[in-house]
Amino acid sequence: MQRKAALWAVLVLSLAACKSSLPPVVGVLSAPSTPVPVAEPDPTAALRDEIDNLLLAAREAQERGDVGEAVDCRAAALERLLVAQQEGLASAEIEDMFADLIEELDTYWDSGEGSPGEVEIPEPGPVPPEAVAAARDRAEEVRFDLPVVVNPEVTSLIEYYTGPYRERFTLALERAARYLPFIREELQRAGQPLDLAYLPLIESAFNPRARSRARAQGLWQFMAGTGKLYDLRINGLVDERNDPYLATIAAVRHLGDLHSMFGDWELALAAYNSGAGRVTRAQRRGKGATDFWSLRRHLPRETRNYVPALWAALVVAKSPDAYGFPRFEERPDCLRRVPLDGAFDLEVLAEHVGVPVEQLAELNPALVHRLTPADGRYQLAVPCGQEEAYAAAAAKIPASERVRQYMHVVRKGDTPSAIARRYGSTVEAIMTANRLRNPRSLRVGQTLVVPRAPGGDLAPPRRAASARSNQPLQERPKAATSWAPGQAAGHYVVQAGDTLYDIARRHGTTVAELKRLNKLSGSRIKPGDVLVVAR
């Protein structure tokens, strides 16, 4: 947000004509050098063309490395939109064009280092015609069930994957061998092209724990809102975007919906990357064009290169010998699910089964803190043939020993030291468990994992905690439940990201019933609230 605000300030202070060959822009802060022309029959369409040309010039300048000219062009676009707004042009159209300008800020301003596992798609560069011809010849030897195109842009990205990116591409192909069989099964079940199974190559390099700057996560890089739309559970303890199997089921549904919307796989893929709204706007600006390559210039840079990147990845991945890559035998995981009622610490469970906790955590990447939720039943992934061992071990662990950590929802005034005193933990343990660097960075409503101090017991916090803001992560003895009614049968403590709809679906009830039980007039809830979910 600070970067974006800074760029807006630069744009406002730099309101100047773009130094390209575009016509001068007339605005409130600069005197016109020529008389104002007579309005076109469709002034909104004329403005659309003007803004498109300015943003296109900004992209070209940015790609040449001329940051100053790129800023000037975007400043000119901003000025023109402000003038048009004052002139009373259709507000919906103006908002649409402002959205395009914001996309430019998102795409070009953030030049910091990527997040863990983020896959960057570079800008295609020039390639000689003979390189394009050679790539086409190799692609013709492979069968694709998607409309793969080999042109200069795709050829440039093939050279990137087989050159500077070769080592990471090899690792991605090795990881892919684990997941491709399951993904193909889901695609086949949905009647979709099987080559879509390679999409995670350019999304996450087949890394289930990949995260992007935009806070997309997992093998398929779902944003939280989209993930919830496709029934992925996302809260302080569980993030099913990181489960490669559950996320695959959601991704196949999402791709199918996008294809139904656009009727074209290239446009559906572009929409998967940047959202259906951006593709729809590009279609409106394309003046009748309906194919990706005609609309490409109207899309953000990442999306313009997204489809070429997939075509390049497919050409290389499906003909590894031709490009000097090893072939990896596909060895899918054989997993089964064991139901666990209530909270379990994976470290405790792994010790009782006799396996490394890292092995169990790797099979269950959706468990953000290696803890199953205290409410309801969680389906734990375990290796085939070990279901009975895990179920028996879980049954033998006393309720008071199932976890070694608490969960705390931050309230106003909380500090790591105060939380540590309350739970008999340490500041260092809290900072490490939650990957906190600054003890002053706590946010109200944030969910923290509070580890038990070494050698400590699992007694309740030293001071009575508010029933509206905290719950332990283990089932408490009956005498201790008074300080955390969220553990009582029929109650639920709201987590960050929860909605009434999510909670109702999870507990087999309805939003209307939740409102009735909790005397709610609206749908607003906040982390830490204790809701009655059943009588």
Q: Which residues are catalytic?
A: 203
Q: Look up residue 136 and give its two tokens.
A: 């086409």
Q: At what angle do helices 276-285 and 265-274 cross, to 10 degrees?
A: 120
CA distances from 311 to 148, 201, 214, 498 (A): 5, 11, 24, 38
Label the pairing between strands 470-472 and 447-451.
unpaired
Contacts of 429 (CB under 8 A, 6+ apart): 420, 450, 451, 453
275: left (phi over 0), alpha (psi -120 to 50) or beta: left
Q: How far apart are CA 194 and CA 314, in angstroms?
A: 11
Q: Which residues of 118-143 are buried (b: 16+ CB within 10 A; e: fewer)?
A: bbebeebeebeeeebeebeebbeeee
Q: At what angle do helices 166-190 and 152-162 cross, to 10 degrees?
A: 120
DSSP string, 312-348: HHHHHHT-GGGGTPPP-------EEEEEEES--BHHH
DSSP state at residue 62: H
Q: How far apart are CA 147 and CA 125, in angstroms?
A: 22
Q: Angle at the Cα of 517 (from 516 to 519), degrees rounded to 5?
A: 60
Contacts of 343 (CB under 8 A, 6+ apart): 371, 372, 373, 374, 402, 403, 472, 473, 474, 475
Q: How far apart are CA 59 and CA 104, in angstroms?
A: 8
DSSP string, 171-198: HHHHHHHHHHHHHHHHHHHHT--GGGGG
